[in-house]
A = this chain, B = another copy of it.
Amino acid sequence: MNQNFLLQWMKQKQVIIPALLIEHYSKLGLSEQEFAGIIHVQAFIEQGEPFPTPDRLSERMSLTTAECAKLMGGLVKKGFLSLDKHWDNEGILFEFYSLEPLYEKLCTFLQSKEIEGQEKREEETAG
């Protein structure tokens, strides 16, 4: 091993996953494969590739290209991922994934849980 190797490790991007997402993704209806898919999309976004193709995903996952295409399609269809587009100054179309729908779902879930908890506490106090 040489110093280059350590510098490569030091300089790598890192992906931050909120503990509340790890704790609750399965209650939102995500499988482990879908959760891993979400992490890959976030990692690609952070390295400047906001619209990874099934081919690119398949290089990093234990799934075939067709399975990756199906996985992403499913995440979009179930409302965890959105595929947005914008045109740049020269009229070229860019497509990119957004994880905002996932965070909206998580946000709504956490709030409903909190309200439930409050009602429970009020009932206990009242009772």
Which residues of A are at the interface with B, using a C-beta cutoff of 8 A? 1-20, 22-24, 26, 30-33, 35-37, 39-40, 43, 46-47, 60-63, 100, 103-104, 107, 110-111, 114
What DSSP secondary structure best describes chain A's contact surface? helix
A100 and B6 within 8 A (CB):
no
Cβ contact of A32, chosen from B13, B32, B110, B114, cutoff 8 A? B32
- A15: chain B residues within 8 A (beta carbon): 16-19, 22
A10 — nearest CB in chain B belongs to which residue? B103
A-B complex: 9 closest residue pairs judged by Cβ atoms: A32-B36, A13-B19, A26-B62, A32-B33, A15-B17, A22-B43, A10-B103, A12-B19, A14-B16
